[in-house]
Chains A and B, each alone.
Chain A
Amino acid sequence: MQRLNVGTALGVGFGLVALSGAGPAQSAGTVEVLHWWTSGGEARAVGELKASFEEQGGTWIDSPIAGGGGDAAMTALRARVVAGNPPTAVQLKGPGIHEWAAEGVLADVDDVAMRDGWNDVLPPALAEIMQYEGRYVAAPVNIHRVDWIWANPDLLEEVGAEMPTSWEEFNATAESLMEAGITPLAHGGQPWQDATIFEVVVLGLGGADFYRQALVDLDMDALQSDTMIAVFDQMRIMRGFVDPGFSGRDWNLATSMVMNGEAAFQIMGDWAKGEFLAAGQVPGEDFLCAPAPGQAFILNTDSFAFFEVSGDDRIEGQQVLAGLIMSPEFQRSFNLAKGSIPARVDVSLEEFDMCAQQSQADLTAAIEADTLVPSMAHEMAVPRSVRGEFLDVVTEHFNSDMSSEEAVEQLVSAIERSL
């Protein structure tokens, strides 16, 4: 009896959804979502998605796998896929989506994408990452900008400095901060953080085209160029600006150094803003945000990839989830919780803070000028194996007295090896 009811409800639900697009249906199927958003703000953000999915009458099975960076989640995912029981949607990013798609285990949600016109509202660089062989296999939930400089205004005032607009200015300001006995740069010495600074410097010194050649296309000439040597020279200078206890520090501890006036700058993506806001600080007054030198935009995004599942109930849930993730309401509420900006460029940012608004203005400008580039350090540009080689060389250079020429040489042979 009960079985019959569920079946009927499903049938009706399916009909309704099919007829009305995404109206308040009786049932929206079942989804199982595998993610590693387990920290405070992240969990709240994913709760938004769960709530809106359940509002549609669907069943949400949450599969959070703790462990930053998602290594544990990826191991679990591999086991699930090998066992033939993949989750409905998985938090995946960048080339990782393509790697899984190439294994033939992703389902496409192209029908939903065409119906809702994803092509018109996503930045082209982002849309490309979400597609495999021309069909959407993933949906982005947000856009993080990586090339930000965060600063403590009181400390800058002490040495009479403004937010730097070029690396020379940055170096000069940092020198005067050092003379005043202030640590110029708050930094955590983890390989991905070193790589974050590295790619921001690559963009600042080489520009968007060079960035693309070197860190996206892995062009050997670009990797061996004098510009790359200059990048490592700048990294060596930056090494002098960090305090002695930087090794192994988490990024949020570095952020709190800026917050507490222990250091003047931090170079970090806009998830750092979440920390400032969570501490009740106001952008523009208690902390400053400014794009790093380079006149471009390094893109990092979180997205959900859809796996091949069986059963009408689950396929139904997948389609509904895909539509939900890309709905303007969800994109707004999710990103207010996470600190990033919506992946859709047509969502109004009135409720967002000034840093987010600037982020969106710069994003639009970058799309027009074709200077939107994917982040290497945050797994948007190259496969994990190649990214790992970058991280090794960058962090080895940063933590030793290796010369810039040697670093470039090592980088070239490491990239060749990983291909």
Chain B
Amino acid sequence: MARPSVWLARVRRVDVWLPKVVVAPSFAASLFFVYGFIAWTVYISFTGSRMMPNYDLAGLAQYERLWNTPRWFVALENLFIFGVLFMVICLVIGIVLAILLDQRIRAEGVLRTIYLYPMALSFIVTGTAWKWILNPTLGLEKLMHDIGFTSFEFAWLVDRDMAIYTVVIAGVWQSSGYVMALFLAGLRSIDDEIIKAAAIEGAGPWRTYVGIVLPMLRPVFLSAFIVLAHLAIKSFDLVVALTAGGPGIATDLPATFMYSYAFQRSELGLAAASAVMMLITIMAIIVPYLYSELRSERK
């Protein structure tokens, strides 16, 4: 009887170390390629690096230069406008679409696919397509002129005060379907009994959704918010394809700012400083979220 128990103990030991072995390579890889490079970027941001990485510390000089650069403020202001509008509009459109689709309508599968489809395109494709649609001499405005509405004007793409809103339009078009899918899944997971009970109590559909269903979808809100927030902060390809940061520098975002300083201007240190600022912004959103998640799990 001794042999099987030894064998069992060995299996049990495998049970202990095997998962660790399996996970170790990816853990090591992400430790090096993600956290290692984050640490490297933070270090570079404290050096005077220009064209090539230079490892002599220069204190906060790069941060001082960064916060003295008007273009950085343009990027931050744009991030604020784009981030807030993108998140709010995506959430509103996503929720409305989800609620409408939730009415057990016919051809729901087809509609759901249509709404979700933009998500299948990359931001580069979205940006390029909208660049053509919004170009006043090529797209929408020309179309309206051609069919007779000659007074129609829509030149936001080339207007430096409005260009950032065209980025919002393209971003919302891309991502609101995804938010809809999230919420639709959330709505479907709510017990029918609750809705029936609400109906019996005499609550109309409006009251049912606003008062009962949506509060129950709090976790969905949170995930949608996190996904949208990080999409907004790291937004790069959409702007590059749609406006290339222009007209002028009117649609610069922190990510395009960072790219331009690191790779076009040989200002590695300054670019690293701006990357660190972006990291801090994302952490300011993610850390409280993780904290609340972990705490609720412990409960």
* Interface residues in chain A, defined as those with a beta carbon under 8 Å from any beta carbon in chain B: 69, 71-72, 74-75, 78, 81-82, 99-100, 103, 189-191, 194, 243-248, 383-385, 387-388, 392, 395-396, 398-400, 410, 414, 417
Contact = CB atoms under 8 A, between A and B. Distances in A.
B118 interface: no
Contacts of B260: 388
A411 B248 CA distance: 15
A208 B135 CA distance: 38
B51 to A, nearest CB: 5
B70 A410 contact: yes
Contact of A247 (B52, B68, B158, B264): B158
B168 interface: no
A119 to B, nearest CB: 28
Interface in B132-159: 135-138, 155, 157-158
B99 interface: no
Contacts of A387: 265
Report the 10 A-B pairs with minimum CB-CB distance, sorted nearest first: A245-B137, A399-B248, A247-B158, A388-B265, A399-B247, A395-B248, A247-B247, A396-B248, A384-B266, A71-B263
A194 to B, nearest CB: 8
Given A189-B246, A244-B136, A399-B160, A82 B53 contact: yes
A74 B246 CA distance: 23
B244 A248 contact: yes
A244 B267 CA distance: 33
Contacts of B279: none
Interface string B102-132: 0000000000000000000000000000010
B263 A244 contact: no
B246 A247 contact: yes
Interface string B49-91: 0111100000000000100111100000000000000000000
Given A189-B158, A248-B243, A399-B248, A392 B71 contact: yes
B249 interface: yes
A405 B248 CA distance: 18
B250 interface: yes
A243 B137 CA distance: 9
Contacts of A75: 263
Nearest to B64: A417
B156 to A, nearest CB: 11
Contacts of B244: 190, 248
Interface in B237-257: 243-244, 246-250
A290 to B, nearest CB: 27
Contacts of A100: 51
Nearest to A247: B158
A246 B158 contact: yes
B265 A417 contact: no
Nearest to A410: B70
A103 B53 CA distance: 11
Contacts of A399: 160, 246-248, 250
A396 to B, nearest CB: 5
B-side interface size class: 20 to 34
Contacts of B267: 385, 388
A244 B155 contact: yes
Interface of B: 50-53, 65, 68-71, 131, 135-138, 155, 157-158, 160, 243-244, 246-250, 260-261, 263-267
Contact of B265 (A243, A247, A385): A385
Chain B interface secondary structure, helix, strand, loop or mixed? loop
Given A190-B244, A244-B158, A396-B248, A383 B136 contact: no
20 contacts: A72-B263, A74-B263, A75-B263, A99-B51, A103-B51, A103-B52, A189-B158, A191-B249, A243-B137, A245-B135, A245-B158, A248-B158, A248-B243, A248-B244, A384-B51, A385-B50, A385-B267, A392-B71, A395-B246, A399-B250
A247 B250 CA distance: 11
A150 to B, nearest CB: 20
Contacts of A191: 246, 248-249
Contact of B131 (A246, A248, A383, A396): A248
Contacts of A103: 51-52
Contacts of A244: 136-137, 155, 158
A236 B184 CA distance: 52
A414 B65 CA distance: 10
A74 B268 CA distance: 13
B166 to A, nearest CB: 11
Contact of B52 (A78, A384, A395, A417): A78
Nearest to B52: A103
Contacts of B65: 417
A75 B249 CA distance: 23
A245 B52 contact: no
A25 B131 CA distance: 54
Nearest to A244: B136
B135 A400 contact: no
B52 to A, nearest CB: 6
Contacts of A395: 246-249
Nearest to A71: B263
A245 B263 contact: no
A144 to B, nearest CB: 20
A388 B264 contact: yes
A187 to B, nearest CB: 12
A229 B157 CA distance: 29
A251 B101 CA distance: 47
A414 B267 CA distance: 14
Nearest to A81: B52
Given A99-B266, A189-B247, A399-B246, 11 more contacts: A103-B52, A244-B137, A246-B158, A247-B246, A248-B131, A248-B246, A388-B265, A388-B267, A396-B248, A399-B250, A414-B70
A103 B260 CA distance: 22
A110 B250 CA distance: 46
Contacts of B131: 248
A414 B265 CA distance: 14
Given A189-B247, A247-B157, A82 B52 contact: yes
Interface hub of A82, A190, A392, A398 (most chain B Cβ within 10 A): A392
A212 B266 CA distance: 23
